[in-house]
Structure 1
Amino acid sequence: MIWDLFVLIFYFVIVFYFGFHFAKNNQKEEDFYLAKKEIHWIFLLLSLVATETSSLTFLSIPSLTFKGDYRFLEIAFGYLIGRTVVALYLLPSYFSGNTISVYEYIGNRLGKSPQKTMSFVFTISRLLGDGIRLYISSLPIAFLLEKMGLKLSPEVLGMIALTTLSIVTIIYSVVGGFRAIVFTDVLQWFIYILGGIFALGLLIYKLEIPMGEGITNLQTLGKWNLFVLDYLAEGDNSYFIVFALIGGAFISIGSHGTDLMLVQRVIATKNLISGQKILIGSGILVIFQFILFLLIGSLLYLFYQGQTMAPDKVFSQFIVNEVPSPILGILVAAILASAMSTLSSTINSLSLTWARDWGMDQWFSPKALSLFFGITLFVSSLIPYFLIQTWEKGLLEMGLTIFSYTLGPSIAVFYLAKANKDLPVSGRVFSGFFLTSILSTVAIGVGFKISFTLLIPIGFGTLVCLVQISRFIYKKN
């Protein structure tokens, strides 16, 4: 186990190197947040994919084919459709002005109140969702420390791991700025992809059955099913092909068209054509990435067939129990890479939105704001340790689903801004509509148990309907 720890320390040293190596390039605000738009689009594409791939994706995607089939790829195809829509419809607007935050675009079109409301909702959702991701990402390190024989409680080991992970991420994010984050993302993308390929190869080796026989077994069990063509009169229709494609498209339009953390990587390139390459290319790459981790899930099913395993923990258990040293350290580093790429980007984007959308750059430097949000993110990740188990479960679920409730109304805001029509109400009233549509989406989703693939279209339609009703009332009066 000492070699696994050595691998992790070596990984952290490399990350520190990137942070301090690029520190000298952060003289101005545009340098810190967009790296002067000098980074090649291929690096930004890989950074985008690494940023949207959290440790939850790395560890939980295999569980989908472990307990089911390949229908999740329908969502991924929807992602590609959504990114294409963003590339052709929204992206030209972002490159037409001199904005650093995409919420500045909202401010220019709809007013300061909607701009700040969008920024506030983005801040809360990121602090909650990514704070929880940080907490979950610390668990593999805690498992490793426990296997090394440290006689401490799981909670204490988890906090040690969490603190270490947070300190490293905060330092290279604050010191190196956006440029360091992007190139560290690229390194981390290669680490977790190679980790996934190794895990796939190890499973093939350990199964000790001919590949053709394994494929036949999976086919017999219905594990290769991809498209869901039957609509159920009763039951979950999240993966009915029409809903899956629409839902996946809306998810991607919301995340890659309105979420500052992801859009930041697209507008950091030098021109619109490069930005469109980043968006569409990332959608294609993500499909292949999902295929890799879904294949791992299928082979895990064959490996553990006949045993009772929790699907969401099966890949973690395979890594800890079956992977030899020092490769175990590399795979744990892969998990950390998928987490740190998301978290460093969150720190930088939160700093950006409060610098530009709230005007905090008048009083605080980009590094000071990044340090503040890095610490805030760390504090939010500690919350699950102080909750009883039932409340912790509720918090985790809320953190992982909150984006589905906010993305629909967020898309509607950008759609209305793009439509070149004056709002029938003031900016403050419109902000109230925006928050109301989020709460309405939550109520509809929870109350009627709507398929998650339809939550975003519902949120979008709710806000657009509120604006149209107010426009009708305004004209009538």
Structure 2
Amino acid sequence: MIWDLLVLVFYFIVVFYFGFHFAKNTQKEEDFYLAKKEIHWIFLLLSLVATETSSLTFLSIPSLSYKGDYRFLEIAIGYIVGRTIVALFLLPSYFSGNTISVYEYVGNRFGKSPQKTLSFVFTISRLLGDGIRLYVSSLPIAFLLERMGFAISPELLGILALSILSLVTIIYSVLGGFRAIVFTDVLQWVIYIVGGIFALGLILSQLGYETLSNHIQHLESLGKWKVFVLDYNQTGDNSYFILFAILGGVFISIGSHGTDLMLVQRVIATKSLISAKKILIGSGIVVFFQFLLFLCIGSLLYVFYEGQSITPDKVFSHFIVNEVPSPLLGILVAAILASAMSTLSSTINSLSLTWARDWEMDRWFSPRILSLFFGVLLFFASLIPYFLVETWEKGILEMGLTIFSYTLGPSIAVFFLAKGKRDLPISGLLFSLFFIVSIVFTMFVGIGFKLSFTLLVPIGALTLLFFVGLSHLFKKKLT
């Protein structure tokens, strides 16, 4: 275990290096949040993929094929289509002005109230969602500390692990700004892809390469290579019915990569619209093959543990902990941390950005002070899962997509309305109220009718569009 711990210490030292190395280039706001738009688009593409790939993805994607098949790739196909729509339709508007936050674009069209409402919803969803990601990422560190002989309670050990992970992420995010985050993202993407390939190779070697064809045929006989779900289930969950899954992937991708500041920030940090389109569409293709890699791991884990009772969401963690020898265990744990830290550092930077520009806090606080504040806030948000983890019923990844989908639909509607030429028939304050009501309505409909997460985004978008359309009709009748 000491070698695994040394691997992690070395990894943290490298991350610190990036923070200190780029610290001198982050004095101005444009430097801290966009690195003067000087970073090559390929690095921004990999940073975007690393940012959207959290430890939940690293650990949970294998569980989908372990307990099922490859139908999650339907959503990944929708991701590519959705990013293409954003690249062709929304991106030109973001490059038409000098906005740093995409919510400024909404503010220029509809006023400060919708701009601040979008920013506030983004803040809450990121703090809660990424707090869970931070919690999950701390578990491997807590495990190593326990194996090292730390004689304290599991709860305190978990908090200690969260403190270490938060401290490292906050330091390099606050010191190095966006430039350090991007290049650290690239390093972290390489680490967890290499970690995934290594894990795949290790499982294959333990199963035996000479019996691989037999295992493939066995999985095929069980229907575990299935990608497209063509049958509509009248009574069951239809999240992965081909039409719902692909359209759901399209809407989720439009919402995340067209309206989520943390992800859009990487796209608008390049100098030209052409490069931005390459980043957006190319990232969708990379993510598809990344999903394929981890789904393959899940399939082989099913063969490896067939007959054993293991919780699907914990199967990859179980394999890493029990089958990977030292110091290779440290490398795979570093891969898990890499997938988390790339997301968390980006969250800190983007939350700092939205409150600096959308709430005009840059008049009183520097980018580094704001980043430090949100880094600490994110740490406290990561403690929430200690009170919730016992009640989780669905898979962690699917649960995250469901929660995320409640806000994406209305957000998409806001940006597409801003893209249009018509002015709002209502005040910005009332429009903000409609936006919040649309989110709440989507939650009630989704929970009440137990709808699949792939349907929540279009329902939310249509709800807000319905409210605005009704306002247009009402205004016409009054005039």
TM category (shorter chain) comes to over 0.9
Partner of 2:39: 39
Q: 1:181 to 1:223 in 2, by over 3 A?
A: same
What is the Cα deviation at residue 140 of structure 1? 1.1
Partner of 2:127: 127
Amino acid of the residue matched to residue 121 of structure 1? V
Q: Does 1:428 align with 2:433?
A: no
Checking the alignment, whether the CA contact within 8 Å between 1:132 and 1:399 is kept in structure 2 is no
Partner of 2:265: 264
Q: Deviations over 1:399-435 (max 9, x none)?
A: 6632110000000000100011110100000000000
What is the Cα deviation at residue 277 of structure 1? 0.1
Alpha-carbon distance in 1 for matches of 2:271, 2:197:
33
Checking the alignment, whether the CA contact within 8 Å between 2:232 and 2:238 is kept in structure 1 is yes
Q: Does 1:250 align with 2:251?
A: yes
Alpha-carbon distance in 2 for matches of 1:285, 1:304:
29
Alpha-carbon distance in 2 for matches of 1:151, 1:380:
26
SS at 2:437's partner residue?
A: helix
Q: Does 1:168 align with 2:168?
A: yes
Checking the alignment, whether the CA contact within 8 Å between 1:384 and 1:395 is kept in structure 2 is no
Amino acid of the residue matched to residue 223 of structure 1? K
Checking the alignment, whether the CA contact within 8 Å between 2:83 and 2:281 is kept in structure 1 is yes
Alpha-carbon distance in 1 for matches of 2:286, 2:401:
23
Checking the alignment, whether the CA contact within 8 Å between 2:80 and 2:250 is kept in structure 1 is yes
> How do 1:346-365 residues align onto structure 2 when only pairs under 5 Å count?
346-365=347-366
What is the Cα deviation at residue 276 of structure 1? 0.1
Q: 1:259 to 1:210 in 2, by over 3 A?
A: same
Partner of 2:412: 411
Amino acid of the residue matched to residue 320 of structure 1? V
Checking the alignment, whether the CA contact within 8 Å between 1:67 and 1:311 is kept in structure 2 is yes
Partner of 1:30: 30
What is the Cα deviation at residue 149 of structure 1? 2.5
Q: 1:399 to 1:299 in 2, by over 3 A?
A: closer
What is the Cα deviation at residue 197 of structure 1? 0.2
Partner of 1:157: 157
Partner of 2:87: 87
What is the Cα deviation at residue 153 of structure 1? 1.7
What is the Cα deviation at residue 383 of structure 1? 2.4
Q: 1:392 to 1:240 in 2, by over 3 A?
A: closer
What is the Cα deviation at residue 145 of structure 1? 1.5
What is the Cα deviation at residue 192 of structure 1? 0.3
What is the Cα deviation at residue 55 of structure 1? 0.3
Checking the alignment, whether the CA contact within 8 Å between 2:60 and 2:397 is kept in structure 1 is no
What is the Cα deviation at residue 44 of structure 1? 0.2
What is the Cα deviation at residue 295 of structure 1? 0.1
Q: 1:160 to 1:393 in 2, by over 3 A?
A: farther
Partner of 2:441: 440
Amino acid of the residue matched to residue 8 of structure 1? L
Amino acid of the residue matched to residue 299 of structure 1? L
Partner of 1:466: 467
Alpha-carbon distance in 2 for matches of 1:388, 1:300:
24
Checking the alignment, whether the CA contact within 8 Å between 1:132 and 1:381 is kept in structure 2 is yes
Checking the alignment, whether the CA contact within 8 Å between 1:128 and 1:399 is kept in structure 2 is no
Alpha-carbon distance in 2 for matches of 1:105, 1:47:
23
SS at 2:166's partner residue?
A: helix
Q: Deviations over 1:331-386 (max 9, x none)?
A: 00000000000000000000000000000000000000000000000011122335
SS at 1:30's partner residue?
A: helix
Checking the alignment, whether the CA contact within 8 Å between 2:61 and 2:397 is kept in structure 1 is no
Alpha-carbon distance in 2 for matches of 1:413, 1:383:
30
Checking the alignment, whether the CA contact within 8 Å between 1:62 and 1:293 is kept in structure 2 is yes
Q: Deviations over 1:434-469 (max 9, x none)?
A: 000000000000000111101000000000000000
Alpha-carbon distance in 1 for matches of 2:299, 2:35:
41
Alpha-carbon distance in 2 for matches of 1:440, 1:376:
28
Task: Return 154-163 or 48-57, whichever deviates more.
Answer: 154-163
Q: Which runs of 5+ in 2 are unaligned?
A: none
SS at 2:231's partner residue?
A: coil
Length-normalised TM-score, structure 2: 0.97
Partner of 1:240: 241
Q: What is the number of equivalent residue pairs in this alignment?
A: 477
Amino acid of the residue matched to residue 273 of structure 1? I
Alpha-carbon distance in 1 for matches of 2:244, 2:146:
44
SS at 1:210's partner residue?
A: helix
Partner of 2:188: 188
Checking the alignment, whether the CA contact within 8 Å between 2:405 and 2:456 is kept in structure 1 is yes
Partner of 1:118: 118
SS at 1:233's partner residue?
A: coil
Q: Deviations over 1:150-199 (max 9, x none)?
A: 22221111111100000000000000000000000000000000000000
Alpha-carbon distance in 1 for matches of 2:323, 2:402:
32
Q: 1:86 to 1:400 in 2, by over 3 A?
A: closer
Partner of 1:12: 12
Checking the alignment, whether the CA contact within 8 Å between 1:45 and 1:278 is kept in structure 2 is yes
Partner of 2:21: 21
Amino acid of the residue matched to residue 295 of structure 1? C
Q: Deviations over 1:30-81 (max 9, x none)?
A: 0000000000000000000000000000000000000000000000000000
What is the Cα deviation at residue 474 of structure 1? 0.7
Q: Deviations over 1:270-299 (max 9, x none)?
A: 110000000000000000000000000000
Partner of 1:453: 454
Partner of 1:214: 215
Checking the alignment, whether the CA contact within 8 Å between 1:129 and 1:400 is kept in structure 2 is no
Task: Return 319-328 or 374-383, whichever deviates more.
Answer: 374-383
Amino acid of the residue matched to residue 337 of structure 1? A
Amino acid of the residue matched to residue 358 of structure 1? W
Q: 1:362 to 1:251 in 2, by over 3 A?
A: same
Partner of 2:147: 147
SS at 2:384's partner residue?
A: helix
Q: 1:279 to 1:139 in 2, by over 3 A?
A: same
Amino acid of the residue matched to residue 150 of structure 2? L
Amino acid of the residue matched to residue 418 of structure 1? K
Alpha-carbon distance in 2 for matches of 1:458, 1:444:
9
Q: 1:43 to 1:395 in 2, by over 3 A?
A: closer
What is the Cα deviation at residue 392 of structure 1? 11
Alpha-carbon distance in 1 for matches of 2:393, 2:379:
16
SS at 2:383's partner residue?
A: helix
> How do 1:267-278 residues align onto structure 2 when only pairs under 5 Å count?
267-278=268-279
What is the Cα deviation at residue 112 of structure 1? 0.6
Checking the alignment, whether the CA contact within 8 Å between 1:79 and 1:251 is kept in structure 2 is yes
Q: 1:74 to 1:409 in 2, by over 3 A?
A: same
Partner of 1:343: 344
Partner of 2:286: 285
> How do 1:31-110 residues align onto structure 2 when only pairs under 5 Å count?
31-110=31-110
What is the Cα deviation at residue 395 of structure 1? 11
Checking the alignment, whether the CA contact within 8 Å between 1:52 and 1:262 is kept in structure 2 is yes
Q: Deviations over 1:100-156 (max 9, x none)?
A: 000000000111100000000000000111011111110111112222222222111
What is the Cα deviation at residue 230 of structure 1? 1.0
What is the Cα deviation at residue 311 of structure 1? 0.3
Task: Return 392-401 or 300-309, whichever deviates more.
Answer: 392-401
What is the Cα deviation at residue 389 of structure 1? 3.5
What is the Cα deviation at residue 390 of structure 1? 3.8
SS at 1:138's partner residue?
A: helix
Amino acid of the residue matched to residue 471 of structure 2? S
Partner of 2:231: 230
